[in-house]
Chains A and B, each alone.
Chain A
Amino acid sequence: MRRGWSRGALGLVLALVLAGCVGGGEPEQVSTPRPGAETSGQLTVWGWDAAIKSLKVVDAGFRQAYPNITVKYVAKPPMDTYRNIQLALSAGSGAPDISVIEDSHLAQFVKLGGLADVTDLVKPYTDQVNAYRWKPATKDGRVYAMPWDSGPVAVFYRRDVFAKAGVDPASIRTWEDYYRAATVIKQKTGIPMWPQPRARNDARLLEMLLWQQGLGYVDAQGNVILDKDPRVQRTLEFMGRFWREDLSLDSEWWQDPWYKALGGGKVATIPEAVWMGTFFRDFIDPKGTGHWGVFKLPVWEPGGSQASNDGGSTLAIFEQSKQKDAAWAYVEYHLTRPESQLQIYEKTDIFPALETTYQDPFFQEPSEYFGGQKVRELFVDVVRNIPEAGVYTSEYQEMNALMASEVQSFALGKQTAQQALAKAAAAIRSRTSRA
């Protein structure tokens, strides 16, 4: 193990790099001036391939509107982008002007500081964006990012599998119905209902099911509710039935076997956000026109909510940027104009948070890939009803990791749902100093 010492040393060196500026001052709260067509600058935008590909869709128009602004994109996977942001903030320089940041990580950066206060600039759009999106972008009444795409969740299902099992998706109204359908499908076709790994569970589905009920890790006051609200336990126990009765596909998400199972009709449904459709069409099941249909999330009780969220991203401007007016011109052009958002949605399927786009006839058109179903309309209906929930907190990553570990242990049959939630709640309380 020759690298033993040098590895330890590397950690210390990284700590040094981070240590650059303990005791830096409070970031001043400046609002950038409104940009005009003469605004100039050379912007650097960080993001990942899919996001940058989408932003580029409207770049030609942007160049015409702002001929003096040039844009350079740097594409890295999300986690690398976040780590680089953290390092740049610590070092006090090196941050881009703008970065794509997912809602799941946004609150952490908002709490950390280093993002520019855009409260006054986003004010005209407050009512035009899905209301629930402002929460992770806001701290002490100030807003630090502009929402881009939202992640309304519904159930994607294989039409062929349902037909073979003789199950009518319209008959699934409650989660209890969904469970019954799962047993029928398993019995008739041998195909599991949803992909939910035991040992490598990432707790994201649990989060979606909780969000649907307006629940999360914490309540509006920031207190941990995992072991307090009985609905959380009910939800986890519901998932437990699928593991016990072997109704779930035991395969890790976003890995090759999982892609193959989805593409090859080896799993009947997957509850996931609208962007899952893009993945299906682009590479999981590109030849699968007509394979997939969509129905809204079943309810937990009659009249309950059918809307949940997974993911969603924003554009944030950095305090370090020397050209904030040009940066805002970019954000405003790409995210707040219905034309831009529609163009991006039509070309790359990134679902806009900007509600002024929803009236466009494009949303009422049938979607060819989904067998002519009016899928876009369905997701608009969902996104308008997504409740606020305490999932994407400033310690989301840590909460998710602690929760996932306990869910895994529960799924493997090593503890009860109640024990899992009690342990996760205790760990989260002690690690994040919450009540």
Chain B
Amino acid sequence: MARHAAEPAALPRARERGRRRAWIVAFRRYRAPYLFILPFFVLFAVFFLYPIGFSLSLSLHEWSGFGPARFVGLGNYRLLLRDELFWGSMLNATILFLIYVPAMTLLALVLASVLHSRYLRLQGLWRALIFLPNITSMVAAGYVFRLMLDTDSGLANRFLSFFGVSPIPWLDDIWWARISLGLLLVWAWLGWNTVIMLAGLQTIPPELLDAARVDGANAVQIFRRITVPLLRPQILFAVTLSIIGTYSLFTEPFVLTRGGPVQATTTPVYQVFTSTFEYAKVGYGAAMSYVYFAVIVVLTLFQFWALSRERPAGRGR
């Protein structure tokens, strides 16, 4: 008792020591599992943490990728603030997002509901077919799209001409090029989004749907009032990934439109790529990555916040 009174600080310290010892004991006890997961963390540190830190340092330098680097402080960021092309690429990605993500998400929802239906035969086949584009090489697919969408000799316009539609400048007009890129993206990513929704659908208890049906709800009502609200987490997940994916698009515009016309389909990552690897402005490219990263984080957090404000009712399971 007296000893405790004399050393009031000893207690937390002892507790702290005890905790640390417990940690060591735990480590000893689980040495083998830790060893097994070690390779991942080593690779993670070498290929993720170090580059992230190094890019930050790069973004403060003017460097051509070779030879001595010159420290410029926030100079790259100052230039970037006034760089119309970079902010233009942010705007492009936003426009692109609005063009294809709502349509794709809705379509994925509808498709998933259809695929989930117990009356559908050959379910596995349809699922595989819808997912197929996602595992197709984007370079090959983009090239085929490019040929099909050629204004004068492409299949798309030739097909439309049977219905008396005059040639559409698919890749030769600022807005059509964005729409064409959106089409390619929907084609490539619809399957992936459908699979997410399908996974969500399978967690919805069938009793709910049966109860609704007994109460006289029709298919559309069930879809709107039950399926969609209960699929909120999956929709949130899919849209979040789509946000990140749209801003970091590279292969698709690189193959389909080369970022044009008039830079209308140049995305932020496309800008990072050209600055770093074609113009040999490594520091500037790193600064771009950081600004772009910050924007993505803010957008994602905002979206999480906006969608988690009200939890859907009846999701207690």
Whether B48 and A2, one on each chain, are in contact in the complex, defined by CB atoms closer than 8 angstroms, is: no
Whether B65 and A90, one on each chain, are in contact in the complex, defined by CB atoms closer than 8 angstroms, is: yes
The interface residues of chain B, by DSSP majority, are classed as helix
Whether A199 and B48, one on each chain, are in contact in the complex, defined by CB atoms closer than 8 angstroms, is: no
Q: Which residues of B contact A397 (CB under 8 A)?
A: 278-279
- B79, B174, B261, B274: the one contacting A430 at CB < 8 Å is B79
Q: Which residues of A contact B65 (CB under 8 A)?
A: 18, 86, 89-90, 112
Whether A19 and B172, one on each chain, are in contact in the complex, defined by CB atoms closer than 8 angstroms, is: no
Whether B244 and A19, one on each chain, are in contact in the complex, defined by CB atoms closer than 8 angstroms, is: no
Whether A16 and B54, one on each chain, are in contact in the complex, defined by CB atoms closer than 8 angstroms, is: yes
The minimal Cβ–Cβ distance linking A238 to chain B, given in whole angstroms, is: 21
Whether B245 and A1, one on each chain, are in contact in the complex, defined by CB atoms closer than 8 angstroms, is: yes
B207 contacts chain A at the CB level, 8 A cutoff: no
The interface residues of chain A, by DSSP majority, are classed as helix
Q: Which residues of B contact A25 (CB under 8 A)?
A: 68
B223 contacts chain A at the CB level, 8 A cutoff: no
Q: Which residue on chain A has the smallest CB distance to residue B147? A: A256
Q: Which residues of A contact B150 (CB under 8 A)?
A: 255-257
Interface set, chain B 282-305, CB cutoff 8 A to A: 282, 285-286, 289, 293, 296
Q: Which residue on chain B has the smallest CB distance to residue A90? A: B65
Determine the distance from Cα of A114 to Cα of B274 in the docked complex, in whole angstroms.
21
Determine the distance from Cα of A405 to Cα of B263 in the docked complex, in whole angstroms.
6
Interface set, chain B 53-104, CB cutoff 8 A to A: 54-55, 58, 61, 63-69, 79, 82-85
- A19, A199, A398: the one contacting B54 at CB < 8 Å is A19
B169 contacts chain A at the CB level, 8 A cutoff: yes
Q: Provided the pairs A23-B68, A257-B153 are in contact, do residues A200 and B280 lie with their beta carbons within 8 angstroms?
A: no
A140 contacts chain B at the CB level, 8 A cutoff: no
Q: Which residue on chain B has the smallest CB distance to residue A105? A: B278
Q: Provided the pairs A1-B242, A22-B63 are in contact, do residues A199 and B173 lie with their beta carbons within 8 angstroms?
A: yes
Q: Which residue on chain B has the smallest CB distance to residue A19? A: B54
- A12, A18, A108, A408: the one contacting B289 at CB < 8 Å is A12
Q: Which residues of B contact A197 (CB under 8 A)?
A: 172
B198 contacts chain A at the CB level, 8 A cutoff: no
- B47, B58, B79: the one contacting A13 at CB < 8 Å is B47
* Chain A residues within 8 Å of chain B by Cβ, number: 56
Whether B279 and A15, one on each chain, are in contact in the complex, defined by CB atoms closer than 8 angstroms, is: no
Whether B276 and A14, one on each chain, are in contact in the complex, defined by CB atoms closer than 8 angstroms, is: yes
B187 contacts chain A at the CB level, 8 A cutoff: no
Contact with B along A6-35 (1 / 0, CB 8 A): 011101111110110111111100000000
A395 contacts chain B at the CB level, 8 A cutoff: yes
B241 contacts chain A at the CB level, 8 A cutoff: yes
Whether B269 and A7, one on each chain, are in contact in the complex, defined by CB atoms closer than 8 angstroms, is: yes
The minimal Cβ–Cβ distance linking B290 to chain A, given in whole angstroms, is: 10
- B244, B269, B280: the one contacting A86 at CB < 8 Å is B280
The minimal Cβ–Cβ distance linking B127 to chain A, given in whole angstroms, is: 17
The minimal Cβ–Cβ distance linking B124 to chain A, given in whole angstroms, is: 21
The minimal Cβ–Cβ distance linking B95 to chain A, given in whole angstroms, is: 16
Determine the distance from Cα of A108 to Cα of B66 in the docked complex, in whole angstroms.
12
The minimal Cβ–Cβ distance linking B266 to chain A, given in whole angstroms, is: 9
Q: Which residue on chain A has the smallest CB distance to residue B173? A: A199
Determine the distance from Cα of A8 to Cα of B269 in the docked complex, in whole angstroms.
8
Residue pairs across A and B with Cβ atoms less than 8 A apart, 19 shown, are: A1-B243, A9-B47, A13-B51, A15-B51, A15-B282, A16-B50, A19-B51, A21-B66, A22-B69, A24-B66, A24-B67, A26-B67, A83-B277, A114-B66, A200-B171, A257-B150, A397-B278, A401-B274, A405-B263
Residue positions of A touching B, CB distance < 8 A: 1-5, 7-9, 11-16, 18-19, 21-27, 83, 86, 89-90, 108, 111-114, 197-200, 250-251, 255-257, 260, 395, 397-398, 401-402, 404-405, 408-409, 412, 414, 427, 430-431
